[in-house]
Structure formats: C-alpha cells, structure tokens
Amino acid sequence: MNTNAPDHIPDHELLEHFYSSRDNQWLGILLQRYTLLLLGVCMKYLKNEDEAKDTVQQIFLKVITELQKYRVDYFKSWLYMIARNQCLMRLRDKHGKTPTVLTDKMGLPEEENHIADLTEKDKLLGVMEAALLQLNAEQKTCVTLFYLQKKSYQDISEQTGFTLLQVKSHIQNGKRNLKLLVEKKMK
C-alpha cells in the first residue's frame, strides 16, 4: 500500500482504495482522520469521557463491519450518522438499566430531558435523511455536497459539471423541497 501523504487523499479516494483492495489500512487512515470529530460527537451526547472513548471504539468496529457489506458514497455524513446512532443506543441502554421512580411533583430529571431532546433531534434527522433521498438526483447531489460536505458552489460545479447558476438553482430548489417534505412528514 502506498500511503504517501495520506492526509491529502480525499475521503472518496480512500474508500475506493479500500473497496478495490479490501485493505483495512485505508479505513485506518479514514478513521484516524475523524477520531477527534467522533470523540467530540460522543462527548456531546454522553457527557462522559470514558464512555465517549469506549463508544468511539465501538463505532470503529461497526464502521469496519458495515463497510465490508455496504458501499458508502459520503463517508463523513455516514460516519456522523453511525456515531449519533451509537450514542443514542448507549443512552437508551443506560437509561433502561437505571430504574427511577417519578412522582407528579418531581418532574423529569435533566438527563431524561436530554434524552427526549436527542430522541426528537434523531427523529428529525431521520426524516431529513429520508426526505433527502426523495429529491431528484441533481438536487440531492448539490444539497449533499453543499450542506454535508461543506463544498463551495465552485467546487460543486467542478465536481458535477453543472454551471454555477445550475448549482445555485439545484441547492435552492433542493432546500425548498426538503423543507416541504420534512414539514409534511413531521405533521
């Protein structure tokens, strides 16, 4: 494996190298690239460094297993979704094992409010992901590149072959259609 300056190899190329060779070292480069991001996401949800580190390790194992079975196009957004789901599962497991007796006067503990907020956000993200899949191919591509991969209009134009005006139009129409689809599903 030639890993000259692996930091400069884009995610999609690392994935292609992995898919063609099935060499886990390519995944190692990708996972190393996002370790701090994963730790930050896990800390945000779990509020405990040891639990966050354990969860990052679980995420690594899940990523290696899932990528053996499925092809992923947008690694960073997919990885974030895996991390979020892993954290929510851990919170649900933890919550389920902690019996709490509530009375009318007690109210909800902060942790339960936090879990309820995360569950609502998780539902919204799930609806958004489903809505994104309903967009036409051009809108889905442009919206994903712009909002999830933080690409500029120019980068998207170069990557897709669309003119800058087409990119802007696809993003605006995709954003409007996403909003309409999400509002419809959340009613």
Q: What is the pLDDT of residues 11-27, one digit of tens each?
A: 889 889 988 998 888 88
The top-level CATH class assigned to 131-187 is mainly alpha
Does the domain formed by 1-101 have CATH 3.30.910.10? no
Per-residue pLDDT, 115: 61
Which tens digit of pLDDT belongs to each residue from 109-120?
454 555 666 666
Domain ranges of the chain: 1-101, 131-187
Please state the pTM of the whole predicted model. Answer: 0.50
131-187: same fold as 1-101? Answer: no
Q: Which of 95, 81, 170, 174 is nearest to 124 (CA)?
A: 81
Per-residue pLDDT, 158: 93
Q: Is the pLDDT of residue 86 over 60?
A: yes
Which tens digit of pLDDT belongs to each residue from 62-74?
988 888 888 888 8
Per-residue pLDDT, 98: 40
Q: Let me know how long the chain is.
A: 187
